[in-house]
Amino acid sequence: MRIISYNVNGIRAAMKKGFIDWLATNPADVICLQEIKANQEDVDVSAIEKMGYQTFWYSAQKKGYSGVAIFTKIKP
């Protein structure tokens, strides 16, 4: 089992900088993201889901602050 933990410092910015391409070349069973700074509704996760990941989000109460997400290929 391969697990990746990654502080993205804003998932929308990370996606603009090639996060999806990086994920495609560095696949893992579980990916734990910190500081996503977005709500799930604000992010297009279709490319991530096409790679076989289920996504789970816990956004901060205050918009644009912290938050975490887990992408997993293993059913929890």
Q: What is the pLDDT of residues 6-34, one digit of tens each?
A: 999 999 999 999 999 999 999 999 999 99
pTM exceeding 0.75:
yes
Q: What is the pLDDT of residues 36-59, one digit of tens each?
A: 999 888 899 999 999 999 999 998
The neighbour count for residue 47, using CB atoms within 10 Å, is 14
Q: Please count the CA atoms within 13 angstroms of the CA of 65 that sit on its side-chain side.
A: 4
- Strand ranges (DSSP E) for the chain? 3-7, 30-34, 54-58, 68-72
Confidence of residue 75 (pLDDT cuts 50, 70, 90): confident
